[in-house]
Amino acid sequence: MSKEKRVIKILRYDPANDKKPHWVDYTGEYDSDSTILDVLNEIHWKIDGSLAYRRSCRSAICGSCAMKVNGQNILACETPIHKFKGKIKIEPLPGFSIIKDLVVDMDLFFEKLKKVKPYLIVDKPLPDKEFTQSPEEFEHIRESVTCILCGACTSSCPSLWGNEDYLGPAALLRAYRFIFDTRDDGANDRMDIVNDKNGIWRCHTIFNCMEACPKDIKITEYLSRLKVKIVENSI
Amino acid sequence: MYKDKKFFDLSYYKFTGSWAWILHRLSGLALIFYLSAHIWVISTISKGPEGFNRVMGVLASPLFKLLEIGLWGVILFHAFNGIRVVIVDFWKGSLNHKKLFYIMIFIAFALWVAGGYLIISHM
């Protein structure tokens, strides 16, 4: 494995001392297949222990380490540094408030998620054993259930930068996931919530969410299907 | 906590979809500006034929012919990207939205060249 010298720029912010975030440069030698998270760990453990960032599973499943690197939202744990040429600029997720360094406030994000009732609502009597779906029925939601709620999509959305009350792609995708679940009976309720001035119609099909999604979920496509369903329901 | 107040993150990497959206917004604003100017020009007819003819004389200059060609381009982009947005929203266009963008740009460009040629040939 070849080591190479890389310049890492990190947007640092300490609420106790800084008014605004500022860039700090770190230079080090890293393996070309190190991930962004490896680099952050290296800096945190050996150079500056005060660097704050979220991490947990380092296997792209917990959704903790989403951040903006060289102008694009990614998961730090699954993105190798050889993907980026020249300086590597690491910033917290845009559109969210910064708590410290790369740690952002996700409260609003999860509040919006709760708004769309992200759980199965069943009116009919539950079956005694498993509540099954056919493979064809599951196919509608197969991709959308893989969302790990990292926030990369919602944070990449220009509609959200302009209006922080917008539900955002992650919450809307979760609404899709339950509305198109054949076992669920809460579709009308959820469609009323989503069909709001800060709801799905603020999606202007910019596709930043689809580019940012680490799970390659075709978010815009599912939001479009939801738009069609809402229109069909109201005529 | 620190909250960035800017409404648009200029440093975020721009993909095809972002460019289509940004240009759609800008061309929309340009068309609003054009329509206001157009209504003002037409309104000069209320001051009699002389005033109207004077304004029309200014608009017949080559500079305004060139601006007209530009306007034709802005209209075409806004119209064809608008069709693309409708296809994306209601006709599964999001699976091929990049290809769709380039097809629309190609049609708009071909019509722009044809229309531009007609405008120049009538100068």
Interface pTM, i.e. ipTM: 0.88
CB within 8 A of A191, min separation 6: which ones?
Answer: A175, A179, A229, A230, A233
Q: Does domain A3-104 have CATH number 3.10.20.30?
A: yes
pLDDT averaged over every residue in chain B = 92
Q: Where are the beta strands (DSSP E) in A83-227?
A: 88-91, 98-100, 103-104
Q: Is A85 on the interface with B (CB under 8 A)?
A: no
A3-104 with A107-234: one CATH topology?
no
Indicate the domain borders of chain A.
3-104, 107-234
Query: How many alpha carbons fall within 13 Å on the CB side of residue B63?
Result: 3
Examine the pLDDT at A114 and tell me if it is beyond 90.
Answer: yes
Q: Between chains, do B18 and A208 touch, taking CB under 8 Å as contact?
A: yes
CB A63 within 8 A of CB A89: no
Mean pLDDT of A168-194: 96
Mean pLDDT of A214-227: 96
Q: Measured on CA atoms in the order A58, A59, A65, A71, is the torsion positive or negative?
A: positive
Mean pLDDT of B52-60: 88
Long-range contacts formed by A129-136: CB under 8 A, 24+ apart: A131/A183, A133/A181, A133/A182, A133/A183
Q: Which of A197, A198, A203 is nearest to A228 (CA)?
A: A203
pLDDT averaged over every residue in chain A = 95
Examine the pLDDT at B34 and tell me if it is beyond 90.
Answer: yes
Query: Which residue(s) pair with A104 in the sheet?
Result: A98
Q: Please provide the size of chain A in residues.
A: 235
Task: Give the pLDDT confidence of A41-54 residue by residue, as tens digits.
Answer: 999 999 999 999 99
Examine the pLDDT at A235 and tell me if it is beyond 90.
Answer: no
CB A66 within 8 A of CB A74: yes
Q: Is A207 on the interface with B (CB under 8 A)?
A: yes
Mean pLDDT of A60-82: 96
**Cα nearest neighbour of A21 on chain B:** B2
CB within 8 A of A117, min separation 6: which ones?
Answer: A178, A186, A189, A190, A193
CB A176 within 8 A of CB A153: no
**Cα nearest neighbour of A98 on chain B:** B2
Q: Is A24 on the interface with B (CB under 8 A)?
A: no
Q: Please report, as a single letter, which amino acid is at residue A42.
A: E
Q: Take residue B94 and report the two structure tokens written for it.
A: 């999001």
Can you tell me the distance from the alpha carbon of B74 to that of A145, in angstroms, rounded to the nearest whole number? 41
- Indicate the helix (H) or strand (E) that contains A221: helix A219-233
Residues from B contacting A (CB-CB < 8 Å) are 1-4, 6-9, 11-13, 15-18, 20-21, 85, 88-90, 92-95, 97
- pTM of the predicted protein model: 0.92
Band (B48; pLDDT cuts 50, 70, 90): confident
| CATH class label, A107-234 | mainly alpha
Give residue B68's pLDDT. 92
> What SS3 state is found at A165?
coil
